[in-house]
Amino acid sequence: MPTTPAFSDLDRVVFAARFFLLAGLWATLAVTHSGAYTAMLMITVTALLATLVTWSLRAQSLAVAISEGAVVGILAIAVDPTASAAIPYLAVPSLVGGLSGRLTGLFTTLGAEAAALGLTTLISPTQITQPLLGNLVLWLVAAMGTGLLGTSIHRLFAESRQTAAYRDAIDLISQLHTLSGALGEDLDVRTAAGRVLGAMGSTVPFDGAALIARNPTGEYVPVLFTSGSRPEEIAGLLGQLDQLWRTRRPWRAGNRFAVPLLRDNNVVCALIGHSATPPTSTELTAAAAAITGDILRLDAALMFGNIAASATLEERRRLAREVHDGLAQDLASLGYLIDALDPADPDLSSHIAGLRGQVTAVLREVRQSVSGLRTDLRSELSVGETVTVLAAQLEASNPFRVHVDVCETGTRLPQDAEAQLVRIAQEALNNARKHAAPENVWVNCHIAPPTARLEIRDDGIGLGARREGSHGLTIMGERAAQIGARLTMTSGADHRGTVVLVEMGGTP
């Protein structure tokens, strides 16, 4: 059964404006005894209906504001010809129009109010006096001011929601960092899973068992096997896990059994196993209920492991592509050279020398990859300092010169922007080393937050046809896009060499 939606923050502002303005108007009417009770009563009913329609039917607030403003304009003149008691209420629809549609909503609502007032005044038998006209103009101007206040409140609410979201994210990340240090080995999946298996085994003895979790894609993943378990026998139970996850109830078949381990009625994982005398469903449920603390720790460890896996997934993909583009192809070339060796070939020694050169190149590739992995992007080094270190390492292990020009202000870029710029520099330098055969590489790094300009240029063979299966340029483009930067790759002068340019926020 659908529930009635709760008030939003803006709904509360509008409700408060209607309530306090009506209260003030009724208090003034009671003191002055002006006799416009009928007009005030009808406007009060109109305000109540507008509130109920907006809240219960979730109608568009702007449409309600326009309708309410028109009705109040008509009632203020038709029921109260002097327009002395009810006309101030025109400020409320204008406020709602400003809150709902900003300036467009404000002026649309004001137009509806002015049109209603004008038409009602023209057809009213009451003579239009100068005090009446002045009163109308005064409160229309006041309504415009209130509506402009509404537009400002709308903007402040939007900004505060964005700020609150970032603050919540920072708080959650800080708590996660603190918890990961405080809990220590309790967040290790194998340790937590071992406790669960030990606790269950002390209550419902089994010959062998395993804990099986389910990842977000719905695939079942083994968490831990006991030493006495037989994986081939446990594998036969996997087809029953869909039912277990759906019903949240244990089951048994012959000497095999399974029980869901629950946290707040959600399945954390399943314990499946086999025993000569399998426990009953009641015993399995009672045993699982008795170790809720251990199950909670396991759930926390699994969630923490998923977060850690997500954080490192992108870098693992980058490494996989690097291995595919570099090491795998080089090792394949070594295999072809070995296949081509012929003991009867008089030039065998030269072939062996070539093979040795290939091995040396592969080892250099491995060292470069390991060097990239060791680069600590969380250190105190700036982008320019990190790029300088990378350039020095590259020059030390290769036959070409690396020239570095760094210009940085004292202010640092955001950490994510610095990390992506360093990774782009790594990829560009690595590409120059592997494919360009240069004599010189120039690195120009100019950082003046919020702008940055990073250029890696070489005098090698230049851009050729893009190799099939090469992901380097795609990776650099994705990294640049993540920080709102522009990446271009062009040939150098006279089509010699390659220029990789990254610009963020303009040219510093």
pLDDT of residue 446: 93
pLDDT of residue 227: 65
The torsion angles phi and psi of 278, rounded to 5 degrees, stand at -65, 145
Kindly provide the residue ranges of all beta strands, DSSP E only, lying in 185-243, ordered along the sequence: 208-214, 220-225
Q: Domains of the chain, with CATH numbers?
A: 9-160 (no CATH), 189-305 (3.30.450.40), 375-508 (3.30.565.10)
Q: Helix axis angle, 415-431 relative to 348-374, nearest 10°? A: 170
- Residues 47 and 11: beta-carbon distance below 8 Å: no
Query: Which position has the higher pLDDT, 384 or 5?
Result: 384
pLDDT of residue 363: 63
Q: Which helix (H) or strand (E) holds 485?
A: strand 485-491
- Residues 270 and 259: beta-carbon distance below 8 Å: yes
466 band by pLDDT with thresholds 50, 70 and 90: low
**pLDDT reading at 159 higher than 50:** yes
The torsion angles phi and psi of 224, rounded to 5 degrees, stand at -160, 140
499 band by pLDDT with thresholds 50, 70 and 90: very high
**pLDDT reading at 403 higher than 90:** yes
If DSSP codes are grouped into helix, strand and coil, which group holds residue 209? strand
Task: Report how many helices (DSSP H) and strands (DSSP E) the chain contains, helices first.
Answer: 15, 10
What's the farthest any 2 CA atoms get from each other in the chain? 123
If DSSP codes are grouped into helix, strand and coil, which group holds residue 11? helix
Burial class (CB in 10 A: 0-12, 13-18, 19+), 501: middle
Given CA atoms 146, 149, 155, 160 in this order, what sign does their dihedral have?
negative
Q: How far apart are CA 254 and CA 420, in angstroms?
A: 56
**The two three-digit tokens of residue 111, written as one number:** 């137009």
Identify any residues that bridge with 453 across adjacent strands, giving them in sequence order. 446, 503
pLDDT in tens, 340-376: 666 666 666 776 767 766 676 666 666 555 555 545 4
Q: Which helix (H) or strand (E) holds 268?
A: strand 266-274
Q: How far apart are CA 364 and CA 419, in angstroms?
A: 24
Mean pLDDT, the chain, whole residue set: 76
Q: Are strands 498-504 and 451-458 parallel, antiparallel or unpaired?
A: antiparallel
- Residues 153 and 262: beta-carbon distance below 8 Å: no
pLDDT of residue 215: 77
If DSSP codes are grouped into helix, strand and coil, which group holds residue 272? strand
Sheet holding 498-504, edge to edge: 401-408, 440-448, 451-458, 498-504, 485-491
Closest CA to 270 of 205, 341, 214, 190: 214
**pLDDT reading at 1 higher than 60:** no
- Residues 28 and 40: beta-carbon distance below 8 Å: no
Neighbours of 274 (CB within 10 A): 22
313 band by pLDDT with thresholds 50, 70 and 90: low
395 band by pLDDT with thresholds 50, 70 and 90: confident
- Quote the DSSP letter at residue 230: -
Q: Are strands 440-448 and 401-408 parallel, antiparallel or unpaired?
A: parallel
469 band by pLDDT with thresholds 50, 70 and 90: very low
- The distance of Cα 165 from the centroid of its chain, to the nearest Å, equals 11
pLDDT of residue 4: 43
**pLDDT reading at 447 higher than 60:** yes
Q: Does a cis peptide bond (omega within 30 degrees of 0) precede residue 450?
A: yes
Given CA atoms 110, 114, 120, 124 in this order, what sign does their dihedral have?
positive
Please list, in sequence order, all residues whose beta carbon lies within 8 angstroms of the beta carbon of residue 421, skipping any fewer than 6 positions away.
383, 413, 452, 454, 483, 485, 502, 504
Q: How far apart are CA 376 and CA 385, in angstroms?
A: 12
33 band by pLDDT with thresholds 50, 70 and 90: low
**The two three-digit tokens of residue 343, written as one number:** 């003991």
Q: Helix axis angle, 130-183 relative to 292-322, nearest 10°? A: 90
**pLDDT reading at 20 higher than 80:** yes
**pLDDT reading at 3 higher than 50:** no
Tell the residue number behind the tokens 């046809």, with chain if given: 465
Least confident of 91-100, 268-277, 444-453, 496-505: 91-100
Q: How far apart are CA 481 and CA 483, in angstroms?
A: 5
Mean pLDDT of 253-270: 87
**The two three-digit tokens of residue 191, written as one number:** 């340790």
The torsion angles phi and psi of 498, rounded to 5 degrees, stand at -135, 140
**pLDDT reading at 445 higher than 90:** yes
Mean pLDDT of 69-96: 76
pTM of the complete model: 0.39
**pLDDT reading at 443 higher than 90:** yes
Mean pLDDT of 112-119: 82
Kindly provide the residue ranges of all beta strands, DSSP E only, lying in 334-472, ordered along the sequence: 401-408, 440-448, 451-458
**pLDDT reading at 276 higher than 60:** yes
pLDDT of residue 322: 62
Query: Which position has the higher pLDDT, 58 or 260?
Result: 260
**pLDDT reading at 454 higher than 90:** yes
The torsion angles phi and psi of 501, rounded to 5 degrees, stand at -125, 130
If DSSP codes are grouped into helix, strand and coil, which group holds residue 175? helix
